[in-house]
Structure 1
Amino acid sequence: MSLILSRQERAITVLGGPTAVIDLGGLRIVSDPTFDAAGPHGYLTKTAGPIVDEHAVGPVDLVLVSHEAHPDNLDDRGRAFAQAAPLVLSGPTAARRFGAPAVGLSPWTSHAVPRPDGAGELTVLAVPAVHGPEDGDRDADGNVNCEVTGFVLSGQGLPTVYISGDNASIRAVAEISRRVPDIDVAVLHAGSARVPTKFDGRPLSLDGRGAAAATAVLGAVTVIPAHYDGWAHFSEGLPEIELAFHEAGLSSLLRAVPHGTWVQLHR
């Protein structure tokens, strides 16, 4: 049986892996679409597909791609889904590689999207992400591993939503918090991704303790974990994330609901 995702006023659901559906301001937004079935993707292995397929998502207004270099954040069917969208926002390098309809945003630049609810615009702010340890080798553009972009969504009367992308850096989170001090909701990629051949096997994304620390730094009141399952290279899953939030005294902020379940957002 295929679950159909009905439109919500202000809500987020995670479909599995990094893929989240965000209904906000009359817009349907999908982050890091991955709709392939389980199977090998080069040096990575997908262990489970999403809770619903792309057809259940229906028409989408905006796709956010944190990075297109790795198939666990943009697989084949996810790429086709994004290419059919009216607008894709990503980093500059990713947008050039992706092509139309992608628009590239450097960190701390924004793009305004008209809201169908008639309340002005949704502002999408690109924010930094570090896809590995702080002391990892950086490319000519200063990226660790590859270019990755996080996003902050905001608008009049809406909760402010931060989507981390594959970020492992609390320093980056602290900078985001300083510049955007009113984040209400955080979607955190928190599976502690590890690849033995990269950075001595150290985490490429937040682990549970890092996600709890990021929550405290941001001051978010709702935290939705993502990108902790569906791929073999995650070293932590939901139990480790929940334990870290419990030990930090932040369990009341964590909304770890089953995939495909809506988390209603309140400002």
Structure 2
Amino acid sequence: MLTGIDALAGSLGDGRTLVIDARPFAEYSKGHIPGAVSLDLFSLHWVDTTPAGIDAFTSHMRLVLSMAGVDESRRVVFYDNASGMLAARGAWLLQYLSHPDATMLDGGLGLWRARGHDTETDLCAPVPSELRTAANPTLIAGYGDILAGGGSLEIVDARSPEEYSGKTVRAARGGHIPGAKNIDWSGTLAEDGRLAGREELGRAYPIARDARIVTYCQGAYRAAHAFVALKVLGYDDVRVYLGSWGEWGNRPELPVEA
């Protein structure tokens, strides 16, 4: 799930690595890793997790990623400013689409620069390709999956404590999914922007190894970061609730705790 700074630096220009800058284009244009293409992942959130909604999301994402040059023949490395939620969203998304080698840059652009590596401001136009891999339904969840899971799921809320408690409201209703455990994603980053070490991550996620885990946040970006952290720790059964609170909090028929 992670690619180190030095490993990426050694593979630039090898023709086998596609680097994707997941930040907004305005940030990309001020400086990016040489050869990286721009794909603003924050503009691609989705809040309909009915079966038809997930099918539409899958088709749309496959098309968008293909236009960015993604296919099965090259490894893909996503990055943002740190080991952040945008890069994690990209890594999770390609894992969901069964790409054989998709990771996030551990430490992001901040650590890349701190290590003395060059950046450029030239626009790198993507070369469209075709991503043909099948989606993996075991890595994604809809609201129906959470309702059907009942108390058998370990639900991880990756938002801030204020969002979890309902003090900060970003939907029609505040609060959290009943039974969810609040583990703020920002507490799993090291000072240099890398993902925290395994020991620290293990303390952050005191979850049984055989748990069936679903992560969520507001729009499934911080939830994707939690997914990456849990995969680094070796958890097998982890899904991202795609609609997250942007969907759950706006569906009045769904239960809420605050």
Structure scoring higher RCO (CA < 8 A, sep ≥ 6) equals 2
Flag the structure with higher helix content.
Answer: 2
TM-score normalised by length of structure 2: 0.26
Highest CA radius of gyration, 1 or 2? 2
